[in-house]
Amino acid sequence: MNREERVKLYALRKEKAKELWHAGIPDLPLANEELILLEEKFRTWSDSFQLNLLEKGFLYVLEKYEILITSTENSQCEHNGQIRTGLDYQNCCGISYEYTNDLSCRTAIEIILRNTAGNKIEKYKERIDSLDKRFKAIPKNDKWIVNQASIEKYEKNGYWWFYGLPLTVKE
């Protein structure tokens, strides 16, 4: 695909995401004001993420978080039916920048939690708490895993998942 084709595809994806924001998130009955706020919060996120959220719903984000946790707990990942373990895992999802990217699903959960009326997200709270408990049990070092600008943006108490790189993930 050449540059011109990529630019066209990017524009189409942006337009589709914009249209889908008007329809809302399938499994979250949100007020129009909440949708507008969430659209603003996710505006700089990848089109791929936005389209998945808007087409597949909040459950998609929870499933991505669970996949990350399971992958980190077991030091393995799966792509196209191929399971990677050991060094193959560490050179794929077990490397810090990939792990940090994958961890954005927990940030998305937090953004939705903070910007949605509690009763609308309540049915997912038990699952989120259960996943968070599993995530917190993963042995980690004691370093922030994001850059200085992000440290200032994400306070430690509110964005605790950025504190500590799992021992199975290499820097």
Helices 104-114 + 58-74 axis angle, to 10: 140
Mean pLDDT by 10 residues, the chain (171 residues): 74 77 89 92 91 94 96 90 89 84 94 88 94 95 72 71 86 80
Report how far apart, in Å, the C-alpha atoms of 80 and of each of 24, 40, 84, 149, 154 are: 30, 33, 11, 35, 34
pLDDT of residue 6: 72
pLDDT of residue 152: 67
- Cα separation, 35 vs 150, in Å, equals 25
pLDDT of residue 61: 97
